């Protein structure tokens, strides 16, 4: 396999007027997302769809009509708008996310529950998962909405290999704290492990929208897309993950490089080497 040496380059860009349908729609979608008081998945999708309609009505561009003339075309435009918004739109400020985290990850008002967290951590380190589960389930009887216990209980079930219960408790966690990065990331990992890649992608995409500085969302989404043979989208997301890993001096840089190499080989087989290079240039990556 041809080895790719990936060199991160800094590209200085200036604000330009969006030219494509997806870019124009993404600007409107971002504004919609930021103004939405209750940002759930349904409202987010409405923002994407309405933004495309707004652009079509305002601009009346015949080339745009061709892009959405088929069901697959509409899906592709929605996917691209989602990708642009996820990368470039700040849904919640860091201050707001930090405030949410402090609210849901602060100490419980019940001392027994706080002590259960400490005991559970000790059991988890010793890999005594049945004791962990028993401990946390008892804690939930005293404080059924305490997110740290719910997340740790889900993690214990995941470690034990009981993925259905892990999913159950991660979903419970997200029903209380929808912005929880721990639950979003781990439920995405579980669904990917079950080869339910599209479902996994829903959680990774939400992780990206909320935490664009977290490489795990981009890495997980890109890896899944590569497994689904969506190589162009996969490449964009893995490049973003790679850049974040480089900035963080993370050991996962090598994992990102391996997937980039795999995508390169697949795109080369499909005579899309030039497209690979174009995406790399657009993402600020120099390949040698």
Give yes or no for a contact between 48 and 39, defined as CB atoms under 8 angstroms apart: no
The residues with which 231 forms a beta bridge, in sequence order, are none
Which letter does DSSP use for residue 132 in this model?
H
Helix locations, 4-40, DSSP H = 21-35
Average pLDDT, the chain: 87
pLDDT at site 66: 67
Instruction: Look at residue 41 and tell me whether its pLDDT is greater than 80.
Output: no
pLDDT at site 184: 97
The Cα–Cα gap between 280 and 267 comes to 13
pLDDT at site 43: 85
Instruction: Look at residue 2 and tell me whether its pLDDT is greater than 50.
Output: no
Provide DSSP, 156-220. HHHHHT-HHHHHHHHHHHHHH-TT-HHHHHHHHHHHHHTT-HHHHHHHHHHHHHH-TT-HHHHHH
pLDDT at site 248: 95
Q: What is the dihedral of CA 190, 196, 197, 198, to 10 degrees?
A: -120
- Kindly report the CATH class assigned to 6-92+183-287: mainly alpha
Average pLDDT (129-141) is 95
Sign of the CA dihedral running 42, 44, 47, 53: negative
Note the Cα 232 to chain centre separation in Å.
17
The Cα–Cα gap between 50 and 56 comes to 10
The Cα–Cα gap between 113 and 107 comes to 9
Helix locations, 126-162, DSSP H = 129-142, 147-160
3-state secondary structure of 6: strand
Instruction: Look at residue 12 and tell me whether its pLDDT is greater than 70.
Output: no
pLDDT at site 65: 64
- Kindly report the CATH class assigned to 102-178: mainly alpha
* Helical (H) or strand (E) element with 66: helix 62-67
pLDDT at site 40: 77
Percent of the chain with pLDDT over 90: 64
* Ranges of each domain in the chain: 6-92+183-287, 102-178
Average pLDDT (194-216) is 94
Vertex 130: Cα angle to 128 and 133 (nearest 5): 110
Residue 285: half-sphere exposure toward Cβ, Cα within 13 Å: 25
Least confident of 58-67, 177-186, 198-207: 58-67
Q: How far is CA 82 from CA 66, 91, 151, 158, 246, in A?
A: 19, 12, 28, 30, 25
């Amino acid at each position: 396999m041809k080895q790719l040496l990936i060199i991160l380059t800094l590209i200085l860009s200036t604000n330009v007027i969006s030219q494509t349908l997806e870019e124009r729609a993404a600007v409107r979608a971002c504004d919609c997302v930021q103004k939405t008081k209750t940002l759930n998945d349904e409202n987010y999708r409405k923002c994407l769809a309405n933004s495309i309609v707004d652009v079509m009505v305002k601009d009346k561009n015949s080339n745009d009509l061709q892009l959405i003339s088929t069901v697959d075309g509409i899906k592709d435009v929605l996917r691209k708008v989602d990708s642009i918004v996820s990368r470039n739109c700040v849904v919640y400020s860091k201050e707001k996310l930090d405030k949410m985290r402090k609210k849901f990850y602060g100490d419980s008002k019940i001392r027994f529950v706080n002590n259960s967290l400490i005991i559970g951590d000790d059991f988890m380190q010793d890999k005594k998962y049945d004791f962990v589960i028993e401990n946390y389930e008892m804690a939930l009887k005293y404080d059924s909405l305490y997110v740290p216990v719910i997340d740790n209980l889900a993690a214990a079930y995941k470690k034990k290999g009981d993925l259905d219960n892990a999913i159950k408790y991660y979903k419970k966690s997200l029903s209380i704290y929808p912005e929880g990065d721990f639950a979003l990331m781990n439920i995405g990992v579980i669904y990917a492990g079950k080869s339910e890649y599209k479902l996994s992608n829903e959680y990774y995409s939400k992780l990206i929208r909320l935490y664009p500085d977290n490489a795990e969302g981009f890495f997980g989404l890109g890896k899944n897309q590569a497994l689904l043979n969506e190589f162009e989208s996969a490449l964009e997301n893995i490049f973003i993950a790679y850049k974040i890993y480089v900035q963080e001096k993370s050991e996962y840089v090598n994992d990102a490089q391996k997937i980039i190499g795999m995508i390169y080989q697949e795109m080369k087989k499909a005579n899309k080497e030039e497209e690979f290079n174009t995406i790399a240039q657009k993402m600020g990556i120099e390949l040698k």
